[in-house]
Structure 1
Amino acid sequence: MSNHEESDSEFIRQDEVGETVDTHYDMDLSPSDDSADEDMGPDTSAAAVPGEDMDPMANFEDDSVQGFFEHHEPVYTVDMHPVNELLLISGGGDDKAYLWRRDTGEQLAELTGFDDSVTSVGFSVTGDLMAAADMRGKVQVWNTDAVQASTAPLASLDGPDEVLWLDWHPRGNILLAGSADGTMWMWMLPLGKCMNVFSGHSMAVTCGQFTRDGKTIVTGCEDGSLVIWDPKTAAANHRLDGHDARFHSETITCLDTNADSTLVLTGSTDHTARLVHLQNGNIVGSLGNHAESIETVGFSPTTTLAATGSVDGTVNIWDIKTLKHRGTLRHEDAVTKLQWHADSPLLTTTSVDTTVKVWDARTGNCEHTWRGHQNTVLDFAMSRDGRTIVSGSDDGCCLVFSA
């Protein structure tokens, strides 16, 4: 389905000369096709006649154009090859990762040897290498081009007890992993040499990444602390935590850094987000307007906007320059992930409500709503042009949606 939906919100729009105009729309934010159906009287269709057999899937909507169905357990993580976007890697609760094609759904390689659920996968910046990690701390790396001939890993990395996330360096074959034991490990590939171990968090490192220029690492912790690291020395340049009353009082669940590597945006179970300057560690601003935990955040690469997504089912849009709330987008249930499009002010979101939605952040319009999953959408990957989304779900399936 590729429908344009009028989604209403309270938005602040910019006029042609850049002045801010407050525009208030007192309407339901839900997309029009998700609104309550009008009462059209009793259903007299054949399927509704008592005694007739009813197909429970008769009204099931599936907007996907392709799928991958080999996991048979929740699919926790997916990633798309940065160059050859037909290649996908996914990992799930079946203790396996798979390399497969998005156009045909063909399985290219089954990647085994894990001891627990595969919770993080990712291609390197060039796509030459791909990595996967499980909940027991096992990290394996493969040569993408050679894996179809042999699924033996290029490297099996020694590291922490339980890996919570992976992140590849934006300019080279360096892999970073955050763990439940409070440490991060960084390896050089393909040798598999450990370059640094980062210690400084007291609890699980829940989120982290290299900045876009690769010169800094930022990590968030279950104890509510944020640390800005020097990758070369493993030294902590700045640390923020609850001792500063202006900062988070609870677990940091997610973070993102902006395109010019000057700011980090954090989200927390305390229902708030913080904007922090990476060079000096100063708190630039606090963003609220959520009723429950913030689970996903992101900077727009093309505008001054950022977004925060919450368990309360809302995505709030913010102007980072003014720290002004620009509007709210709504799912029917908790928001699991958001990602801005690379070349436009659009963003894609997924939810416990089983849908994938594409929004225009300038207006609040829902441009597409894609259905097909039967359970929570846990992760997704996006093509460079933003027109194709590949999602992984609690229902054990990966689906491909295309505008």
Structure 2
Amino acid sequence: MSASEQDHYEEEFDDAVDEEYLVESEVAEEEHDDENEDFMDDEEEGDQDEYGGFHGVREVEGDDSVMEIVDDSVQGFFDHKEPVYTVAMHPKENDIIVSGGGDDKSHIWRADTGEKLVTLEGHTDSVSSVAFSVSGEYVASGGMDGKVRVWKTNTGELCTQVDGPDEIIWMDWHPKGNVLLAGATDSTIWMWAMPSGKFMNIFNGHAAPVTAGQFTADGKHIVTVAEDATFIVWDPKSAVANVKLTGADGRFHSEPIICVSTDKESNLALTGSADGTAKLLNLHNGNIIASLENHSDSVESVSFCDVLPLAATGSVDGKVSVWDIQTHRVRHTLKHDDAVIKVQFASNSVNLVTCSADRTVRLWDTRSGECLKKWMGHQDAVLDFAISNNGDTVVTGSDDGTCLIFKA
């Protein structure tokens, strides 16, 4: 790439994530609130009694009979009929949900009523990732067909479809503008300006599927990990790898890295690996601050707490470890009855939500280690969840083909 081309890409990136642009787009969205009434109706928000769900026991049709299962959910969505791999909540209107799954479709629906608002079609293979833009104006779906499709949230109108990567594993929107990042099985990461779909950069540096990645909270860096046991911190403007760690370093991971998270201050990264360890890293210089070792199997998910120096790791061994990231010691060991699939702290809270192949979702107070809620209702592994801004609502997606809403 020539110097002039690089300057051009950097200018485009700055324009796409400019904060003044974001503010203007939010004002425009507010001016058109009347047009969004069908999708963004808040009148039905209220306490749990208004959700009209199935709290208690629900009948479920099996192959040969009807069985009853304990169901703590207050609402649900059942149109997928195939495994639901990914769910997301609208960043402002938390009752607006998008889910994607093995039916090759995404659906936008309401958490308070279970009503389907629109079906987003066009993929020819499973939808592996869905995500709302930072303002909520757009929603993206990424599929195992290698396609990324972006839609207007309030109408379901298709804005663009982009191709380029192989099977999409994950996506992430820039925290300050309409720039979308996607990682794929072909070892690449792609970045586009949305909703135009204009290509901005491709990131090459891994040699195996890019299992996880994200923009840092300040939007100045991209962090990715891969099955080749590499960790890379990128400059999003230039696609230059500023930091790279590999398995050749005996202190680092020796097996595929499954997950990564960064802290609110954009200074630290936490990686989880199939080798059963998590590594706490300085993302600016790549220094390995600590090796967090309390699991006997693959670490599948990691998360930082926004309000205390805590982090959580979840493993196939059924354990969730809560770590003090200042002393690097385990503060609590929490247990599921089967593999832990995802852990995530609620925003600006010490509460942690976890889901598992044991079919449950659990809410924990990480200060005391107490399990505040154990939610049941799914018939198979819970594959993904999203948490509302105030932390009182969790939406799940499961291998059983359903999405459920749970209230704290």
Under TM normalisation by the shorter chain, which class is it? Answer: 0.7 to 0.9
Q: Which residue type is aligned with residue 267 of structure 1?
A: G
Q: Does 1:173 align with 2:183?
A: no
Amino acid in the other structure paired with 2:123: F
Secondary structure of the residue that 1:57 maps to in structure 2?
Answer: strand
Alignment of 1:61 with 2:70, yes or no, is yes
Deviation at 1:56, TM superposition (A): 6.1
- Structure 2 CA distance, aligned partners of 1:367 and 1:121? 28
1:89 lines up with 2:98 in the alignment: yes
Aligned pair partner of 1:248 in 250, 253, 265: 253
Of 335, 356, 360, which aligns to 1:355? 360
2:346 maps to 341
**Counterpart-to-counterpart distance in 2, 1:339 and 1:92:** 21
Counterpart in the other structure of 2:207: 202
CA contact (8 A) 2:395 2:405 kept: yes
Q: Deviations over 1:301-330 (max 9, x none)?
A: 010000000000000011001111111000
Tell me what 1:281 maps to: 286
Of structures 1 and 2, the one with the larger relative CO (CA 8 A, separation 6+) is 1
Alpha-carbon separation, structure 1, partners of 2:171 and 2:164: 12
Identity of aligned residues (%): 56
Who is 1:49 aligned against?
A: none
Q: Which amino acid aligns with 1:300?
A: C
Matches of 1:242 and 1:279, distance apart in 2 = 19
Instruction: Tell me the CA shift for residue 279 of structure 1.
Output: 1.0
Q: Which residue matches 1:74?
A: 83
Q: Distance in 2 between matches of 1:172 and 1:94?
A: 30
CA distance in 2: counterparts of 1:266 and 1:343, whole angstroms: 21
Separation in structure 2 between the aligned mates of residue 362 and residue 145 of structure 1, nearest angstrom:
39
Return the match for 1:132 from 138, 141, 144.
Answer: 141
How far apart are the structure 2 equivalents of 1:279 and 1:326? 26
Partner of 2:393 in structure 1? 388
In the alignment, the residues of structure 2 paired with residue 343 and residue 154 of structure 1 have an alpha-carbon distance, to the nearest angstrom, of 33
SS for the counterpart of 2:201 is: strand
Q: How do residues 215-364 of structure 1 correspond to structure 2 at under 5 angstroms?
A: 215-364=220-369
Instruction: Return the alpha-carbon distance in structure 2 between the equivalents of residues 343 and 138 of structure 1.
Output: 34
1:183-204 per-residue CA deviation (whole Å, 9 max, x = no partner) reads 1000001111010000011111
Q: Which structure has the bigger radius of gyration?
A: 1
Structure showing the higher helix proportion among its residues: 2
- SS of residue paired to 1:115: coil
Partner Cα separation in structure 2 for residue 185 and residue 262 of structure 1:
23
Partner Cα distance (1:333, 1:299) in 2: 23
What is the CA deviation profile of residues 225-279 of structure 1, one whole-angstrom value per residue up to 9, with x for unaligned ones? 0011000000000110111100000100001000000000000000000011011
**Letter of the structure 1 residue corresponding to residue 217 of structure 2:** R
Alignment partner, residue 187 of structure 2? 182
Task: Report what 1:101 is aligned to.
Answer: 110
Offset at residue 344 of structure 1 (A): 2.1
Q: Which amino acid aligns with 1:82?
A: P
Tell me by how many angstroms 1:289 deviates: 0.9
2:194 is equivalent to residue 161 of structure 1: no
How far apart, CA to CA, are the structure 1 residues paired with 2:231 and 2:92? 33
1:112 maps to 121
Alignment check: 8 A CA contact 2:305 2:348 kept: no
After superposition, what is the alpha-carbon deviation per residue over 1:68-116, rounded to whole angstroms, capped at 9, x for unaligned? 0000000000000000111000000000000001111111101111010
Letter of the 1:351 counterpart: S
Matched residue type, 1:105: G
